[in-house]
Amino acid sequence: PRSEWELDPTKIAIGRRLAVGGFGEVFLAKYEGTLVAVKRLLATDSDTAQRFVDEVHMLARLRHPNLLLFMGYTLTPEPSIVTEFMARGSLFHILRHAGNRPPDPRMQRAVAMSVARGMAYLHSRAPPILHLDLKSPNVLVDDRWRVKIADFGLSRVRQRTYVSSGAAAGSPEWMAPEVLRCDHYAEAADVYSYGVILWELLTGQAPWADLNAMQVSKTPCSNGCKFWKTSF
């Protein structure tokens, strides 16, 4: 990471923990009087460390109203990424809190347009950037109901007409079939994930709610995907 983005950790006052995942935990904090979110790395293996470096490099080059604002990083006491704080949390959390009921049409349109704009910005870079982890848990909402895409730890720069990966990473419930199969993929993989988010907005439900991640990854989608078993 470039040193110009490195922040003084003594100026960051860590507060309550907001979330925890496989790669790290997120805290509410204050940086020079401003509320921020701090994502701390938990794992210490080389792959996770490289993912941290890649995410910092990616975030430092991106600026768009519908992408989470990157403010900097720290290396001590643990490698951490500092971003703006999104007070209302994720779209996934908002839908669960609403009892799996779809939001009103105005919010549906606002979220759909905001995510589309953020995705289009990424895909319009030269070369294009693929997010590869678009999902409702990574769609965040602030206290003024502004919507932004977060978590660029899996993002890739497409140098050729496609990206080829030997292993799939991310959340199977939102992943395009070609990514799950570790085939060649391009911007359409993000568009598929965006389609799942649209389905969530229209139904209020979580995709593949009756299956675990391993079962989802083995579910063929070549003839069209059905994200639920029962009618709604």
Hey, which residues are catalytic here?
A: 133
d(CA 192, CA 133): 11
Cβ-based neighbours of 216, under 8 Å, separated by 6 or more: 172, 173, 208
d(CA 59, CA 47): 18
Question: Nearest-5° angle of CA 65, CA 70, CA 75?
Answer: 175
d(CA 185, CA 163): 5
Cis peptide bond upstream of 220, omega within 30: no
Residue 64 burial by CB count (10 A; 0-12/13-18/19+): exposed, middle or buried? Answer: middle
Show the tokens assigned to 25.
Answer: 């935990």
Residue 127 burial by CB count (10 A; 0-12/13-18/19+): exposed, middle or buried? Answer: exposed
- The CA-atom distances, in angstroms, between 26 and each of 8, 18, 29, 181 are 18, 5, 9, 31
